[in-house]
Structure 1
Amino acid sequence: MNATTPSDARWVPWRVAPTSGFVVDDPTGMGDVEIAQTDERQFVVRNAFRFSDPAVEAYLVTQLVERGLTEAAARGAVDAARTFVPSDDNPTDLASIPRFLRWFENPYGLHSLAALIHDELITGTANSGALGSDTLSDRFFREMMRASGVPWLKRWIMWSAVALRTRWVAGGWRRLSVVVWLVLSVIGICTAVGSSGALLLDWTWPTSSPAISLVLSLLLIFIAAPLWGRQWAASLVAAVAALWILPAAIVAYFAYALYLLSEKVARTAGLT
């Protein structure tokens, strides 16, 4: 492992979002984050950076103290969590956004440094990062994006995506709750689309009152929200966003699959 601890770092505001609270160890004084591509998909960050926002830090410390840490230990955990120290054996793909969703957001942008820190906090084992809580790490991710200027709806959608992952990885009843929520979401989306079509486009609908079906499908969003526990707000955002993100994502997924198939056919035909 080749890690660099920024003991005498020259911290300057991040060039991309100077008022975000992110500062970079950049000897040139430009505030650039140096990233080297190591293979087709992976990159290595070459210089350290950290996030500073007194209100966010105080919130994290309070949460950790409530979970049983001493204030000194909580402060140490927060300091470790908000600081990115580069190492050659820790490559990154930047923000892990599937190809078929990159019409919505790229792997890089105003969220880049927040995503890199969040990736460091989310390890292979649940709740084993610097904050000791994947749920709290997800909340920290959202707050860093807010400070970086990521628009409200986009950062909440991205937060709901990582929150869904957190509940799934936790396993047990939390994973079961995700499965139940997904089933209810599919039912709700299908009902909302079908009843809306019946009201606006005179589609055939199995009940005599599509308006009631539409209201019930919208209420289902709130009924299913507690399945996400403390992150119930992420459930509401995910349910609403799914109405327009999911159809577009499905189209993009199959379009990309068709492209991959075309490339395979070209290789089989000997085209290079």
Structure 2
Amino acid sequence: MGHFSDALDGGPLRLELRSINGRDFALLRPIAYSADDYTEPFVVPAQLETFRTDMASVPWVFTWLVPRSGRFLPAAVLHDALVLPGSYAGPEVTRPEADRLFRVAMRGLGTGVIRTWLMWSAVSMATMWEAKHPRWYWRSAVVGLIAVVTVLGILATLDLFDVWNLLPWMGERSLGAELLGGALGALVIPAVLACSWGRTFAPAGIITAVALAFLVHVTLAIALVYTLYWLLERAVSGPAVRRGPPFGG
């Protein structure tokens, strides 16, 4: 699966970071990653002007499930470098290949299987979003899949509580039958919709859609609670409240 090491002496990895502004960090010591299928290692330099990382790029609404740092942190730093031209030394890789290396490196660090694939799916969506040929198609595929699954998840909830019986795979059945129908729909429909993501990204589409189908209610609830908190914080602290701590660069 490859392994991380200290780029200066070849010893065990020493991941040393300096905070720039509370969100971005610079390496104080270069790190190296040797992948099994590459003869040269990937080296991320300790140069403030060359490279910065935000650790794991996880939207705040999902940090309850996937934190921004953890066992996978070295893999996240490596990935940030691999997707920024000129930010690392080593073999040149495409962005989808950088995503794959991220996934492999996470598993090598002992990250759980489910968390590994969820995080790989997230970076794959970012890769699709930045794709240029044709950009409109890939962005439409991402937004379309997320929108359809979110709407269906809400409709399934309304159907489950007999507010609006609209989905044919649930209908007016027993609670157990409706739960089973909703679960099957959350698995089958994303798999069909993910075909629009192409062979390279279809697995990421399936994982993203299935996860969203089962977690949409929790995510919306957390978003509501955080929004209420943020509005209250602004009302109490005033417009000068910041999203991050006032660290200097």
Normalising by the residue count of structure 2, what TM-score does the alignment of the two structures yield? Answer: 0.75
Structure with larger Rg: 1
**Percentage identity across aligned positions?**
24
Unpaired segments ≥5 residues, structure 2: 172-176, 242-249
Instruction: After TM superposition, list the pairs within 5 Å mapping 1:1-272 onto structure 2.
Output: 21-25=3-7, 31-54=13-36, 57-58=37-38, 79=40, 82-89=42-49, 90-123=51-84, 131-170=92-131, 171-195=135-159, 197=160, 204-206=164-166, 210=171, 214=182, 215=184, 218-229=187-198, 230-268=200-238
Counterpart of 1:34, as a letter, is E
The separation in 1 between residues aligned to 2:127 and 2:119, in whole angstroms, is 13
Q: CA deviation at 1:53?
A: 3.7
The separation in 2 between residues aligned to 1:36 and 1:138, in whole angstroms, is 25
Q: Structure 1, residues 5-57: CA drift from partner, whole Å, max 9, x if none?
A: xxxxxxxxxxxxxx971112466x67432212232322211111112242xx2
Normalising by the residue count of structure 1, what TM-score does the alignment of the two structures yield? Answer: 0.70
Tell me, yes or no, if the aligned pair for 1:34 and 1:46 is still in contact at 8 Å.
yes
Aligned residues: 223
Q: CA deviation at 1:255?
A: 2.2
3-state SS of 2:202 partner: helix
Change (3 A) 1:248 1:131: farther
* Greater helix proportion: 1
The separation in 1 between residues aligned to 2:91 and 2:223, in whole angstroms, is 35
The separation in 1 between residues aligned to 2:240 and 2:140, in whole angstroms, is 47
- Between 1 and 2, higher relative CO (CA 8 Å, sep ≥ 6) is seen in 2
Counterpart of 2:223, as a letter, is Y
Instruction: Name the Cα RMSD after superposition.
Output: 3.2
The separation in 2 between residues aligned to 1:245 and 1:52, in whole angstroms, is 35
Change (3 A) 1:227 1:244: same
